Structure 1
Amino acid sequence: MPSGARPELIESPEFFAGGFSWMDALTEAMRAVRLTSALFFNGEFSAPWRFATPAQDKVAPVVSPDSERLVLFHLVIDGVATARTDGHDDVALEAGDIVVFPQGDAHEMWNGRTSKLFPGARLLPQLAKGELAAEKWGGTGAVTKIICGYLGCERHAEGSFLSGLPPIFKINVRSSPAGAWIESAIRHCVSEIDPQRAGRMAVLAKLAETLFVETLCCYIDELPAERTGWLATARDPKIGQALALLHRDPARAWTLPDLARESGTSRTVLVDRFVQLMGESPLAYLARWRLQLAARRLTTTDRKVLQVAYDVGYESEAAFSRAFRREFGVPPARYRRERKAQSVRAV
């Protein structure tokens, strides 16, 4: 089963028809990105209450130091709440809603009127140890139960499955059988008498990632037909197949006729629809994606520059270096040195 695939989709014949489903592009894109995830806070708040979460650059060093991007999310298990990030309308939440902040922006959540903020700093020792923090706080009113988590990833996810997401959005996970099952599993895990016991945090981490994938799937399902961008492209019956093929085998010497044939469409339709949805041609997108993959290999492996060039589909180091410099402003070897130096300084 592909990572993150939903059970009800696996059972449908369309999932296997032609070897692809609309989820394949998402699956392949996520496979190419190093992901970390966790559920880190189990909160029970009695109205009135309010808590604030700082931006990702403040949160990441504590909960996921190796992540370049941090997606923050909160799942409302019981009760109601309101969420807000600067510059956007308030979002009303009820039980089963997950509110997501794809850019990791600072935000607030509350129920009732109070100027007193939950003292989140007292969670830092547990968060730094990778534990699930649990707190009860607030007044004497209605209770809201919230589970908070994150998905950490590399920066180049901005060019694929994080592309085009609004700074804040909500999905009710109970609207799908898979989402309801994931929520039930999370509730069970966090209600354990000893949630820190061996293996429990690993299970919660997998559930956090699965919850995020399911949320993206529901978001894609609800996209208006006129929407453009990466997720809209992944959903398109034919162009989504082309996108999945490029992600599955980026080093292949793709031509437009080959890509069109294996996507089951014409070259004209492929190019026109891809440009309409993505704003660039399939081969232009592939060129950018190859360079993003190369940048990752340069910083995560010791492979020589020439080997990295071959890995992502270039036939010569010179051609690869020219393309890499156009994209990142520096040649590959210097990029590797500078990124490693930055990592050392961060430690």
Structure 2
Amino acid sequence: MATVIDPLSEVLRSVRLTGGIFLDAQFTTPWCVRTNILAEDCAGFLVKPALLIAYHFVIAGGLLLSVDEEPTIEVRAGEIVLLPRNDVHTLASTSGLAPTSARSLIQPSADGGLARVLYGGGGEATHIVCGFLGSEETYNPLIAALPRVLKLDITEGVSRDWVEASVRYAASELTTGKLASSGLMSRLSETLFVEAMRQYSVTLTGQAGGWLKGVADPQIGRALAAIHHNIRSPWSTDSLAREASMSRSAFVDRFTALIGMPPIRYLTNWRLQTAKRRLRETRKTIAQIAEEVGYGSDEAFSRAFKRELGSTPSKWRDQQSVDERPAKR
């Protein structure tokens, strides 16, 4: 009996996110701030973040969050809101207030603990912790398909107790400067993201677009799962069409309409993204990595890599090592 592969689980397993909490904020009504995550907020977690997702966990009270023309979202205690595009956004106690730059209010910690914000008019209190999920990868089809704002209620779902306890513990430890390792932050961030994706996938309708709509399609979803489950397989348009139980032409048309690119282009993108990660994180040879990501020879792999990224795999790997060296003082 063939193993049933879930495409969402396959991509979630391959997403590499590192996270952290960088700010403890306490507001009293009335208050309104405007903010987003900067690369400097990720220092110690990511060397060169190419992708950043901001998130806020409301410990007590509540707030309104708005992003440009998007509808305002109310966020209550026990809820986490994620911004997959790291858009500049406004947090407020009520609508109609003029925002202050949150960055101008930050009080750095003197002992290496969590930076703080204490701001507002002295009324009802709201307590939040602000963090990020980040990656040095430039391409991920799942993240590219997400909406600009996602709200997660951690009072629901099987991970509720673990997530809430972990966020509160991490915030407490960071505030006092006790948390020396980023290991908990990474695991917590991954759990938050997976739980958010699970909740969001349940709400998808026919209007959802991009990669997530492809996942929801019974036939295209099978092809996506096959790619992510076995990237080294010598996939062709014909073999992927067979996975989807479709004719070649119908498969190409539907895949392109849903995903935004033809099947082989998607396959190439994912292979090269995986190769970049292995070049950066391992000392495997070019030939070994080429085989692992589905290329018949290191020459074919090198040609594809250079065509898409403008550099050979070996030169790209060397450049990553140079970029990650600490700057001389």
TM-score range, shorter chain: 0.7 to 0.9
Q: Aligned partner of 2:108: which letter?
A: L
Alignment partner, residue 185 of structure 1: 165
1:125-136 to structure 2, matched below 5 A, reads 129=112, 131-133=113-115, 136=118
* Alignment pair present for 1:317 and 2:302: no
Identity of aligned residues (%): 29
Q: Aligned partner of 1:53: which letter?
A: T
Does the 8 Å CA contact 2:37/2:132 hold for their aligned counterparts?
no
* Alignment pair present for 1:37 and 2:19: yes
* Alignment pair present for 1:335 and 2:316: yes
TM-score (norm 2): 0.81
C-alpha distance in structure 2 between counterparts of 1:251 and 1:277, whole Å: 24
Q: CA deviation at 1:25?
A: 3.2
C-alpha distance in structure 2 between counterparts of 1:187 and 1:325, whole Å: 42
C-alpha distance in structure 1 between counterparts of 2:205 and 2:303, whole Å: 39
1:155 aligns with one of 127, 137, 140? 137
Deviation readout 1:131-152 (Å, 9 max, x if unpaired):
4456554222122222222112
C-alpha spacing 1:163/1:202, structure 2 compared with 1 (3 Å) = same
SS at match of 1:19: coil
Q: CA deviation at 1:319?
A: 1.8
TM-score (norm 1): 0.77
Alignment partner, residue 21 of structure 1: 6
C-alpha distance in structure 1 between counterparts of 2:268 and 2:309, whole Å: 13
Q: CA deviation at 1:45?
A: 1.5
1:302 aligns with one of 276, 280, 283? 283
Alignment partner, residue 4 of structure 1: none
Alignment partner, residue 61 of structure 2: 79
C-alpha distance in structure 1 between counterparts of 2:86 and 2:38, whole Å: 5
Q: Aligned partner of 1:293: which letter?
A: T
Query: How many residues align structurally?
Result: 322
* Alignment pair present for 1:99 and 2:81: yes
Q: CA deviation at 1:231?
A: 2.2
Q: Aligned partner of 1:266: which letter?
A: M
* Alignment pair present for 1:138 and 2:123: no
Task: Specify every segment of 5 or more residues in structure 2 that has no aligned partner in the other structure, as ranges.
Answer: none
C-alpha distance in structure 1 between counterparts of 2:110 and 2:50, whole Å: 22
Alignment partner, residue 70 of structure 1: 52
C-alpha spacing 1:56/1:224, structure 2 compared with 1 (3 Å) = farther
RMSD across aligned positions (CA): 3.4
Alignment partner, residue 149 of structure 2: 169
C-alpha distance in structure 2 between counterparts of 1:176 and 1:22, whole Å: 24
Does the 8 Å CA contact 1:228/1:276 hold for their aligned counterparts?
no
C-alpha spacing 1:203/1:334, structure 2 compared with 1 (3 Å) = closer
More helix by share: 1
Does the 8 Å CA contact 2:19/2:186 hold for their aligned counterparts?
yes
SS at match of 2:300: helix
Does the 8 Å CA contact 1:173/1:179 hold for their aligned counterparts?
no
1:268-279 to structure 2, matched below 5 A, reads 268=248, 270-279=251-260
Task: Specify every segment of 5 or more residues in structure 1 that has no aligned partner in the other structure, as ranges.
Answer: 1-15
